[in-house]
Structure 1
Amino acid sequence: MKSYKILLLLIGVSVFGCSDLEEEPVGLLSPEGFFQTTGDIQTAVDGSLTHAINEMFWGRKLSVALMLRSDMVALASNETRRVEMDEFTTLASNGMISEFWPKTYQGIAAANQAIAGAEDVGVADEIKNPVTAQAYFARAFYYFHLVRLFGDVPYIDAPITDVDAATSMSRTPASEVYANIISDLEFAKAWLPNTVTSRAIPSKAAASSYLALVYLTMEEWQLAYDESTEVINNAGTYNLALESNFQNLFDASVIDASLEPIFALDYNNFEADDNAYDQIAPMTGIRGDVRNSGGGWSIAVPSLEVYTTWDAGDYRRAVSLDDTAKFDDDNDPETPDVEYPYTQFDVSAHEFAKNVPYIAKYTRFPEPFARANARATSHNYSMIRYAEVLLIAAESAVELGNNASALNYVNQVRARARMGGETMTGASVAVTVAPSTVPADLTGTVTVADVLEERRLELAFEGKRWYDIVRRQLGGVAFGTSGLEGAKSNFSSTDYLLPLPEDELERNPNLLPQNPGY
């Protein structure tokens, strides 16, 4: 009998705890007869969300792919799959795609199990729907990534246990996928609570915020404005606010108390057997740096222009980038480590060390981590936070001709950036950055370009920039001669979508045709 490895087939739900939900694997669940209580639904939901913190999804593969495809992060590596992402020579056999595609569908499959299983739980809707709504949110979260990355994709909204059915599915038009995402988020918004004990648990604000972002992506400006301003106008009810110190958003020791994250992937210094852990700190860290038990791997590294074109008075630059570091030049623990500016980072004598400032958001305050180089950190990664909702409202307001509102929302974000705060240099020296006049409030007429630039800086290295480039079709400029990384000659409009994985097409020809250009 022919053996199939089918990403769409999930007979059991693999549950490994994430964040505050669980910390130990509890095995494989047989869905038949399992769902008896709302606690059983919650277990399946937790399993779905745990797929997102896997190394194959946000732990490294998807998060780094999004960085490399943006115009803010270059590559210091010769690994083929990363080179393809960075240089827009991506093949359908790319090893990053072949890992985050199935992991995304595993998250969807687990959400589908929770939703289907909830039908067997004999309690009132008022009791079980707030739990089931988390699964609807998770399914929308995963599909929103897929549809933006690949366009038309197979849309599955129920458990699949039949191999023949799994290998005969076709792709669903992107417009239908978006409609289903909206439907899921509307259900989630109707039933999720206003506040949650952890931002790793979906809330009403999370559903509404994602609806705003979905509508922004679809260029439904009024709907994007309505949803984002609903969140803003109910910030008190939802317990949301801008964090006073920008650095705190990337400090694992204090982020749990912040009111800014709306939905986050929460790591917990736990390395599961299935790679459910975080590697972004080593991927972005400085090669040879003495921090984090070995520094980083110097893989995803900004171009120098990202640093030099960023106003030095903007506190966000100091938080986002390391322009100094310490190295152990002589490998002698008895002698002091030596501090160097970024122009001399190559003192680590490694071929991939670059003399440019490195990404600092994930290397300064990872808190406890399970392995050297800050692998398996304690970070919370904000998938959407209050500052982005303000910028969604600003961008949609510009499109609607509501300049006063656009000014208000952009300038709230800029005002926080001017507040300064306590941060740390790459040499692990605590510094206090005083309030400044940079960035100044915008005046006059706000343009779409103004808001996109604010998003680029505010959300730098958070997996947002590539999606902005795609939805606004900015590639011609971003990857042209005036781009931050210089000209990328291989880029074309077909690169706005990734190719479907080659092995999936081989297993299921019904997924053809491949995306144009591949």
Structure 2
Amino acid sequence: MKNIKLFGILFIMAAIVGCTDLEEDPVGVLAPEGFFRTEADVEAAIFGAYGRIASERLYGRKLVLSIQLLSDMCDIGDRGTPARRQQINDFNSDANNGMTSNIWPYSYSVISACNAAIEGANIIDTDEATRNALIAEARFVRAWMYYHLIRLYGDIPYVGEFVNDPEAVATISKTSVSEIYGFIIEDMEFAWQHLPMTHPDNVRTRPSKGTAYTMLASVYLTMGNWQQAYEKAKWVIDHAAELDYGLVDNYQDLFDATKQDGIKEHIFAIDFLGQQNGGGGENDDLMGPITGVRGADVVGWSVSVPSMLVYETWDARDYRKKVSFADSMIIGGELKDYTFYEDVPRPHMAKFHRFPGNANQDTRYSDHNYVCFRYAEVLLIAAEALNEVSGPTAEAQGYINQVRARARQWPTFTSDFPADVAGGLSKDEFRDTIMEERRLELCFEFKRWYDIKRRQMGDEVFKGANSLEPHDNFNSGIHYLLALPGDELDRNPNLLPQNPGY
């Protein structure tokens, strides 16, 4: 059991329930040569990886909730929620935390599925273009999963090929973050070469060339390679028409599950199937109830709730605030403001709870496509990277102003806020403007913690005078990384040392 749990090597749990746009059939794999015969078999393994991502352990709750709670935008609401969530939020988790001990093995099972698909693609009889496209998709998903893992845990084991013998990795050691970034970049460059510009039916739950370069731009931004981040984002912007990318007119449409399939702003998304449960947590989306209002007619659990300062410091003229918050709800058949909320009387998140599509009454098992990358972020990446290279140029300002122009567009009128970014800002001032724009534009979308980490803003945002969610115990020498799961260290001491401070 010990090695199977660590890497998910001997099977792909593929009750493939994560992508409405994909063919869905159960798949079990013992070894590539025993299963892969056709292109469809390879696709089944890739779809199995998507199915694992669209699970309670990853994009249905544990992974994305952890990323939310680590940030300064999402606090614990109901303090009766399990301690494992409060520990993540309050920066006092340890190696036995129940969130991280689930994220780790499920992430490696995604990676294992991708490695199996790559191995299978090299076995089947097909033309090189088809083979490379299948490999490119699997390599993209693998790199995307590693990108999450290294930002959360730091140095981790890197498994880059399918492993038939669990004993071969029983004593595997960690690989450095810098080395894994190298592997991620190689995977993304291969993906860009061999993925299509678009998919049939405008599917956004499978990667394209634009997806690969968008993620590369994000990776280079995180690494501080500003020139490469700008160049990759600029390629996406320059090819937006061919890729069918752009900003949607109504910001609310991005978070309406009935409008998300094929929406032009989505670059890559994780797709849940409404009211379907694949078993074992697959396709179980709980972020609606997790962020919804306890005691409302459409009931929620009030777990992840922004602090009052997040709400109060956001100008009400910005349409994004209206979309992002539920500051009134139907309670007992009447519309009541947040002061009447049962347990946590402050505005809650609305992005994942307001329009869940085909879902349970409490919005669980939603039909949401959870966006991983969207075009607005590409514009902001280009602006941030260009500022670091050349300062606050008119081009960089223009990218932010496209995002702000959309934020002024209410359904029935145009607001005067946020105003366009004016000239005359210093490089540092423009950088601060970009980070604030990312905080608002991408709020609650599992981005803010990674921004805090890469810009080393923890002391400022958790201990500074203007902190939205104060945590005096935040320690930059410890808390930019989670603890490595203790049960994994017990099984394989070669994963030691534990991350500092745990």
* Contact kept? 2:4, 2:166, Cα under 8 Å: no
Identify the residue that residue 20 of structure 1 maps to in structure 2: 20
Deviation, structure 1 residue 486: 4.1
Mapped partners of 1:377, 1:25: distance in 2: 20
**CA distances 1:354-394 after superposition (whole Å, capped 9, x unpaired):** 1111000011110111x341111000111000000000000
Q: What is the correspondence of 1:54-69 to structure 2 with a 5 Å cutoff?
A: 54-69=55-70
Deviates more, 1:19-28 or 1:372-381: 19-28
- Look up the equivalent residue of 2:41 and give its one-letter code: D
* Alignment counterpart, residue 436 of structure 1, candidates 415, 426, 432: 415
Once residues 156 and 88 of structure 2 are traced to their aligned partners in structure 1, the CA distance between those partners, rounded to angstroms, is 20
Decide whether aligned partners of structure 1 residues 225 and 24 sit closer, same or farther in structure 2, where only a CA change above 3 A counts: closer
Which residue in 1 is equivalent to 2:367? 378
Match of 1:217 in 2: 222
Query: C-alpha separation between the residues in 2 aligned to 1:378 and 1:409?
Result: 31
How big is the shift at 1:12? Answer: 2.6
Maintained 8 Å contact 2:307/2:469: no
Q: Tell me which residue corresponds to 1:514.
A: 498
CA contact (8 A) 1:418 1:438 kept: yes
The answer to whether the 8 A contact 2:204-2:262 is kept is: no
Checking the alignment, whether the CA contact within 8 Å between 2:73 and 2:469 is kept in structure 1 is no
Is contact 1:320-1:359 (8 Å) kept?
yes
Q: State the Cα deviation string for residues 231-279 of structure 1 (Å, max 9, x = none).
A: 0000001010101100000001111142000000011112111211211
Give 2:487's aligned residue: 503
Distance 1:34 1:161 in 2: 13
Residue equivalent to 2:250: 245
Offset at residue 163 of structure 1 (A): 3.0
Mapped to 1, the partners of 2:120 and 2:24 lie a distance apart of: 22
TM-score, length basis structure 1: 0.92
* TM-score of the two chains, using structure 2 as the length reference: 0.95
- Structure 2 counterpart of 1:48, one-letter code: A
* Paired residues, number: 488
Q: Give unpaired runs (5+ residues) of structure 1.
A: 329-336, 347-352, 422-431
Does structure 1 conserve the Cα–Cα contact (< 8 Å) formed by 2:62 and 2:102?
A: yes
The DSSP-based 3-state class of the residue aligned with 1:6 is: helix
Aligned position for 2:308: 304
Distance 1:259 1:121, change over 3 A: same
User: 1:390 aligned to 2:379?
Assistant: yes
Report 1:216-295 matches (<5 A). 216-269=221-274, 270-276=276-282, 277-291=284-298, 295=299
SS in 1 for 2:269: strand
1:53, 1:59 within 8 Å by CA — same for their partners in 2? yes
Pairing of 1:82-231 with structure 2 (within 5 A):
82-196=85-199, 197=201, 198-231=203-236
Between 34-43 and 505-514, the greater mean CA deviation after superposition: 34-43
User: What residue in structure 2 maps to residue 349 of structure 1?
Assistant: none
What per-residue deviation string (whole Å, max 9, x for no partner) do you get for residues 151-189 of structure 1?
111000111232322220000010000000000011101
User: Match for 2:354: what amino acid?
Assistant: R
Structure 2 gaps of 5+ residues are none
Q: Distance in 2 between matches of 1:206 and 1:486?
A: 33
Cα deviation per residue 1:306-357 (whole Å; 9 max; x = unaligned)? Answer: 11100110000000001111212xxxxxxxx1221112223xxxxxx21111
Q: What amino acid sits opposite 2:58 in the alignment?
A: F
Indicate conservation of the 8 Å contact 1:306/1:484, yes or no: no
Q: Hey, what's the Cα distance between the residues in 2 that align with 1:171 and 1:188?
A: 25
Alpha-carbon separation, structure 1, partners of 2:2 and 2:160: 25
Report matched runs for 1:326-341 at 5 Å.
326-328=330-332, 337-341=333-337
**For the aligned residues, what is the CA RMSD?**
1.4
The yes-or-no answer on 1:410 pairing with 2:400 is yes
Say whether 1:468 aligns with 2:451: yes
The runs of at least 4 consecutive aligned structure 1 residues that moved more than 6 Å come to none
Q: Deviations over 1:41-100 (max 9, x none)?
A: 111111112111110001000111111100011102342111111110010100000111
